[in-house]
């Protein structure tokens, strides 16, 4: 399986080697692309490079809130090429459905799986953007509620400050939909590993149909969907099982 990561690669592919974290798809192959994001042309060029290199899953921990028609067309082209694309919903704790804000984010595209974040209390995080076109949640940590998720520190081999007396040596606790998205992308990568011919529509349907409805008393799922929690938190084992079952 091949995965493009714009950032946060370790949450997908960190290997099982007795060191640090383990990614959700530790045997996946990565295509790493330096992406500046300063123009539609740069965005489309990055996507086309990924496609030409054989990417099956594209994980994007960014968004503009104003996706252009040119990029939207590119997302559709990738979808039709049997490539599953995931986008982070963003970290402002706001709805993406407010027409007054004129938000049209990549995570809301019909050709994309939009991913919000759940926290250690098994509920949507306070920072996770939400809306009617976001699909699923995945663990992204919530440093307001607990410690967050453990990953590689941006300072690299210089190490991080000691967080809560628990972390040193270039590891750090963090949080964000930017981390939830590669976690979900790793699950999608596992789905492709057991069923290379699975389609993006099948991937999305499985993730939604077999997600876990989470939340407290304020959760309100209607037809399986909650405004802030989308269709719930991704269930990796069920997703992979159902993807494999399509081969029967």
Q: What is the pLDDT of residues 154-184, one digit of tens each?
A: 655 555 566 667 766 677 788 899 999 999 9
Residue 162 falls inside a structural domain: no
Residue 154 falls inside a structural domain: no
Q: Residue 136: phi, psi to the nearest 5?
A: -145, 170
What average pLDDT does the structure give for the chain?
Answer: 89
How many structural domains is the chain composed of? 1
CATH label of the domain that carries residue 209: 3.40.50.200
Residue 166 carries which DSSP code? T
Residue 120 falls inside a structural domain: yes
What average pLDDT does range 121-135 have in this prediction?
A: 96
- Report residue 69 as tokens: 């028609």
Q: What is the pLDDT of residues 84-112, one digit of tens each?
A: 999 999 999 999 998 767 789 999 999 99
Would the pLDDT of 232 be above 90?
A: yes
Query: Which structural domain range is residue 20 located in?
Result: 2-147+174-245
Residue 100 falls inside a structural domain: yes
Residue 169 falls inside a structural domain: no
> Angle between the 200-209 and 177-194 helix axes, to the nearest 10 degrees?
110
Residue 82 falls inside a structural domain: yes
Strands (E), the chain: 2-5, 29-32, 57-60, 84-88, 113-118, 136-139, 149-152, 171-174
* pLDDT of res. 135: 98
Q: Which of 14, 151, 184, 8 is nearest to 85 (CA)?
A: 184
CA distance 78 to 113: 13
Residue 211 carries which DSSP code? P
Lowest mean pLDDT among 94-103, 134-143, 210-219, 235-244: 94-103
pLDDT > 70 in the chain, percent: 90
* pLDDT of res. 5: 47
- Report residue 166 as tokens: 């628990």
Residue 163 falls inside a structural domain: no
Residue 17 falls inside a structural domain: yes
**For the chain, what's the residue count?**
248
């Amino acid at each position: 399986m091949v995965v493009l990561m714009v950032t946060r690669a370790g949450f997908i592919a960190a290997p099982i080697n007795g060191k640090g974290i383990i990614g959700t798809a530790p045997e996946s192959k990565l295509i790493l692309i330096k992406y500046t994001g300063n123009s539609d042309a740069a965005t489309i060029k990055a996507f086309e490079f990924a496609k030409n290199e054989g990417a099956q899953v594209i994980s994007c921990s960014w968004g503009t809130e104003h996706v252009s028609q040119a990029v939207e067309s590119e997302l559709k082209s990738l979808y039709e090429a049997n490539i599953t694309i995931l986008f982070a919903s963003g970290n402002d704790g706001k709805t993406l459905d407010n027409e007054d804000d004129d938000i049209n984010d990549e995570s809301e595209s019909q050709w994309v799986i939009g991913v919000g974040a759940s926290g250690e209390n098994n509920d949507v995080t306070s920072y996770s953007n939400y809306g009617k076109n976001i699909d699923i949640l995945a663990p992204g940590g919530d440093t307001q509620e607990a410690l967050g998720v453990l990953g590689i520190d941006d300072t690299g081999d210089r190490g991080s400050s000691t967080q809560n007396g628990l972390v040193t040596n270039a590891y750090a606790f963090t949080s964000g939909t930017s981390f939830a998205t590669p976690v979900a992308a790793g699950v999608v990568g596992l789905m492709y590993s057991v069923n290379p011919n699975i389609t993006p529509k099948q991937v999305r349907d499985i993730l939604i149909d077999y997600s876990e409805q989470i939340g407290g008393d304020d959760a309100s799922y209607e037809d399986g969907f909650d405004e802030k929690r989308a269709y719930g938190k991704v269930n990796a084992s069920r997703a992979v099982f159902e993807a494999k079952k399509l081969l029967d």
